[in-house]
């Protein structure tokens, strides 16, 4: 039973870290990377379809993304979707391709992005701590129902705390890497 609680907590904590990684990918660092456009979806025959399924996205030069739609009639729709996104990119259309120049980040913008990254990291840590609280609550319930001994419950809480510390350490490592990436020119 304790192992089940620990495994459940571990899988939920890993999902929190995966969500953080996804959120950090959306924060642009000044370099062009196709994953910047992962969150954009385009209305295609009445349904929202991810841009990556409708176009080839590649890096042209260091700071420019090149979007080549498979269906050339989608160019205006893709352009509109990019403009509506919160990425702050201005697409320039050249016939059947869309170029997305990424302007260099100013020092002030970099500092603002670091604040955003830290906020995302803090949300991930809170999520991990909430999972720890839930797991500890489950252990206390088992102890109340006399399904485990006090020693087993205490060992389970210690194991969950070690797991929490390890996951928070991973979050800190991800944040440190992203902050260094943002602050480097």
Q: What is the pLDDT of residues 28-60, one digit of tens each?
A: 666 777 877 888 888 888 888 888 888 898 888
Domain ranges, residue 93: 34-101
Query: Helix, strand or coil for residue 60?
Result: strand
Q: Of the residues 79, 101, 123, which one is the last residue of a structural domain?
A: 101
List Cβ neighbours of 75 (8 Å cut-off, separation of 6 or more): 69, 93, 96, 98
Q: What is the pLDDT of residues 89-108, one digit of tens each?
A: 888 888 888 998 887 778 88
- The closest of 88, 63, 65, 68 to 78, measured between CA atoms, is 68
Same domain, 112 and 179: yes
Domain boundary among 85, 101, 117: 101
CATH number for the domain that contains residue 22: 1.10.132.20
Q: Is the dihedral of CA 75, 109, 39, 177 positive or negative?
A: positive
Say if residues 171 and 17 touch (Cβ distance below 8 Å).
yes
Residues 122 and 81 in one domain: no
pTM of the model: 0.72
Average pLDDT over residues 60-81: 87
**Tally of domains within the chain:** 2
């Amino acid at each position: 039973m304790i192992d089940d609680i620990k495994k459940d907590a571990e899988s939920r904590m890993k999902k929190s870290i995966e969500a953080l990684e996804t959120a950090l990918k959306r924060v642009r660092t000044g370099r062009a990377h196709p994953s910047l456009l992962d969150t954009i979806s385009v209305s295609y025959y009445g349904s929202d379809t991810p841009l990556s399924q409708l176009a080839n996205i590649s890096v042209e030069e260091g700071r420019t993304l090149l979007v080549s739609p498979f269906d050339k009639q989608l160019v205006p729709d893709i352009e509109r979707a990019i403009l509506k996104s919160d990425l702050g990119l201005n697409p320039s259309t050249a016939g059947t391709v869309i170029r997305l120049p990424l302007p260099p980040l100013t020092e002030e913008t970099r500092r603002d992005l670091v604040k955003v990254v830290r906020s995302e990291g803090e949300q991930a840590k809170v999520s991990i701590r909430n999972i720890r609280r839930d797991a500890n609550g489950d252990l206390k319930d088992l102890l109340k129902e006399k399904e485990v001994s006090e020693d087993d419950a205490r060992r389970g809480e210690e194991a969950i705390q070690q797991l929490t510390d390890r996951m928070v350490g991973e979050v800190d490592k991800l944040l440190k890497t992203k902050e260094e990436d943002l602050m480097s020119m």
